Chain A
Amino acid sequence: MSEVAGVATEEATQRPPANGTPPAPPARAGLFDLALDRLRRGDLGSIPVAVGLVLIAVVFSSLNGHFLAPENLTNLALQMAATGTIALGIVLVLLLGEIDLSAGSVSGLCAVVMTILAVHHGLNPALAVLGALLAGAVIGLIHGVMRTKLAMPSFVVTLAGLIGWEGLMLFLLGNEGMINLPFDRGIAQLSDTWMPPAVGWVIVVLLAGGHLAATLVTRRLRARAGLSVLGTGWVAVRSGGLALLLAAAVLVLNSDRGVPLTLVIFGGLVVSLDLVLRRTVFGRRMYAVGGNAEASRRAGINITQVRILAFMGSSMLAATGGILAASRLAAVNQSSGGSDILLNAIAAAVIGGTSLFGGRGRTYSALLGILVIQSITNGMLLLNVNSSVRFMVTGVVLAVAVAIDSLARRGAPDGVR
């Protein structure tokens, strides 16, 4: 850009001075800098939830020594898989600033569809599951089309779904009101399958090793491209921490019956969906539409498509959760997908740190949030506390979690909220 001088000799003096030399990019961002920067933005990340989990563990284990026993923690893992999977779907729609109130009903309906296909029509269990997922996809498509093409608020669309799909489920169940799944084979076996100890450890090595390898490869590629890289300390802390956490979990689960298959399914969904959301173009567009739909539209993003896909994802994950719940119960009945499942799923997503206003949240919030809720439920049941107290405590935890998040963001610059 050398010909510049001729264009503007005199005015150059009036113009604001060029802002000096561009700053050299930071060679590496330290652990401390990164953390401090995020805190300054009011982004507490998973810290409050982690603290909350530790508190819950300390309180309940001091009240009842059995709370942290491997058997109880294994039960906890089994209990949270179904609702946790539904919460994953809730995270998807919350990312767009939408809501899905029908997730509970849809989970029940799809579980019934699966059971009818498997039991009444004698379909192969895998095909029955596929049929239920397809039903979920169609339901999500209907919700998405109503939201986008008819411009109905998602609250109303899915409220209608909440009522309507439950009605359809009751209709399908007929007069008997319940269908049993054979205990010893097929779907019910999902919840009674345990990884041999060695497989548990292989999972730890694969996850922690995969994380470390991915981090190191990225670091190397970034360094080669002349971009800032994470400090080695930060890499060691992150990968080491992940490995320790996973190892502790597998150690506990192995000392009981092993890692339950349902937890592997739930965990696998959390990890793979997180990768989809953060590493793919589709995921980027989800966050973009959730952050500013009009800007996304002007950038050429098909926001109708993104929204419909989010509702389909939510309903399919609800279907998956319903199947997991049916598997655990070895039956479907009139209360499948009912009672507090939907509310717990939404609460889990929000407690985990997903914003109700769209554009902010990760799939791990479903995992952490359901861990909090299920721990409270589990601990209260151990203590033989009435469910009235359990509801009140869960309500307070939900309120406190959101309050902490809001307060932390109040000091942050506008818009981060």
Chain B
Amino acid sequence: MSPVVTPDTSSSGATPNPAPRTEKQMVLSVRGASKRYGAVQALGGADLDLHAGEVVALVGDNGAGKSTLVKVISGAVQSDSGSITFEGREVRIGRPQDAQALGITTVFQDLALCENLDVVANLFLGTESRHYGVLGEIPMERRARDLLTSLDVRIKDVRSPVAALSGGQRQSVAIARALLGEPKVVILDEPTAALGVEQTAQVLGLIGRLRERGLAVLLISHNLADVRQVSDRIAVLRLGRNAGTFETASVSQETVVGAITGAGA
């Protein structure tokens, strides 16, 4: 069982962080990914680069190939052609487990939480700490609390069932759970789609803290306001191909919309 990333774990060592992020390291690189479903060319040679400590927003109209690209990276489907490079070496992601093993984790839109279980139980679902089959509740609750605190996720009682939480809190729990496996890449599928203003702000704040942890974050979103607020780069897909990658800080809304719709081309 891997230890949870907590802000105080590194305080004792001589090297505070294993990977200094003075310059952003390339973590994941997709080249020329293609996928055809029958007569539909969902992806037609798309590229994508993800760096450590960077939030990349993947945007595009419906049917642009966003979900297919995400599925290729997370192992849910296999691309027909193209290559994936992870931390400098070429890898094959044939199954979701392969992606997990590499350190690529995906938080899907439905969150996959058990609403009848409490926050701790959900965080450790499938990876419970145990002694001879008996749950180790205390270490789990402690790790859960430390993890949530380090992410600045505010949940009054980690023993209350997930059903009693707000939408933003649930999204935060799902993201926190993804972090327990110590991933290097986190893919978030429409994390703010069902949330109100206040809760969207909470989740965007959390995404910012993922970047601070040095994670490569891929954010799929329809909401350009959210994308502008939290991302470092915006990758636009159109009809299964790249329609431009922009630095969020310097690009105008019109340029992005133009790339999405193809009007500006």
Contacts and interface: CB of A to CB of B under 8 A. Distances in A.
B129 to A, nearest CB: 9
A360 B115 CA distance: 10
Given A8-B211, A287-B117, A296-B114, A1 B130 contact: no
B126 interface: yes
B115 A291 contact: yes
Given A8-B208, A37-B160, A295 B125 contact: yes
Contacts of B135: 279-281, 284
Contacts of A15: 204-205, 208, 229-230
Contact of A413 (B121, B127, B164, B232): B164
B213 interface: yes
A16 B157 contact: no
* Interface residue range, chain A: 35 or more
Contacts of A291: 114-117
A7 B211 contact: yes
A27 interface: no
Interface in A263-295: 279-282, 284, 287-288, 290-292, 294-295
Interface string A1-36: 111100110110011111100110110010000000
Given A221-B138, A294-B112, A282 B160 contact: no
Given A16-B204, A19-B205, A288-B117, A299 B163 contact: no
A280 B134 contact: yes
A390 interface: no
Contact of B164 (A11, A16, A416): A416
Given A281-B135, A288-B121, A298 B154 contact: no
Interface stretch (A83-91, A222-230, A365-373): A222-230
Given A281-B130, A290-B116, A298-B112, A18 B205 contact: yes
Interface string A215-240: 00010011001110000000000000
21 contacts: A1-B7, A4-B212, A7-B21, A7-B53, A11-B248, A15-B230, A17-B205, A19-B205, A23-B156, A225-B138, A280-B133, A287-B121, A291-B114, A292-B116, A296-B125, A299-B125, A301-B125, A359-B116, A415-B163, A416-B163, A416-B164
Interface of B: 7, 16-17, 20-22, 53, 111-117, 121, 125-128, 130, 133-135, 138-139, 141-142, 145, 149, 152, 154, 156-157, 160-164, 201-202, 204-205, 208-209, 211-213, 228-230, 232, 248-249
Query: Shortest 3 CB-CB distances between A and B: which pairs?
Result: A299-B126, A16-B201, A415-B163
